């Protein structure tokens, strides 16, 4: 099982959101969540590593959401989340308690 890297932050870009110039501040997410989004990001054939993305400012908020949703639809993120999930994999509906 991969190590959960909660101690390693991954940046989310600051974004301009309205005509008055108000922005969402730069924030951070856990590295393991960025790894899940990167599963879908790699589909586009980028040679940019996750580490390089972090150096360049990270994902935008919408980019992060879109990659997580697409990875989830393809089933990859769900499988990975189950293996990385704090507390271990989720119980399936047919599992006995």
Domain limits of the chain? 9-13+26-84
User: What's the confidence (pLDDT) of residue 95?
Assistant: 46
The predicted model gives 68-83 an average pLDDT of 62
Residue with the larger pLDDT of the pair 13 and 80? 13
- The tens digit of pLDDT for each residue in 31-53 reads 989 998 998 888 876 778 999 99
Q: At what angle do helices 61-73 and 76-84 cross, to 10 degrees?
A: 100
pTM of the model: 0.63
Cβ–Cβ contacts within 10 Å for residue 71, how many? 23
């Amino acid at each position: 099982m991969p190590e959960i890297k909660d101690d390693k932050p991954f940046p989310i870009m600051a974004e301009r959101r309205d005509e008055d110039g108000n922005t969402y501040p730069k924030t951070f997410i856990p590295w393991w969540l960025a790894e899940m989004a990167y599963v879908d990001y790699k589909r586009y054939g980028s040679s940019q590593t996750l580490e390089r993305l972090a150096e360049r400012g990270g994902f935008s908020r919408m980019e992060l959401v879109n990659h997580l949703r697409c990875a989830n639809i393809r089933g990859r993120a769900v499988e990975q989340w189950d293996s990385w999930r704090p507390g271990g994999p989720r119980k399936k509906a047919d599992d006995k308690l």
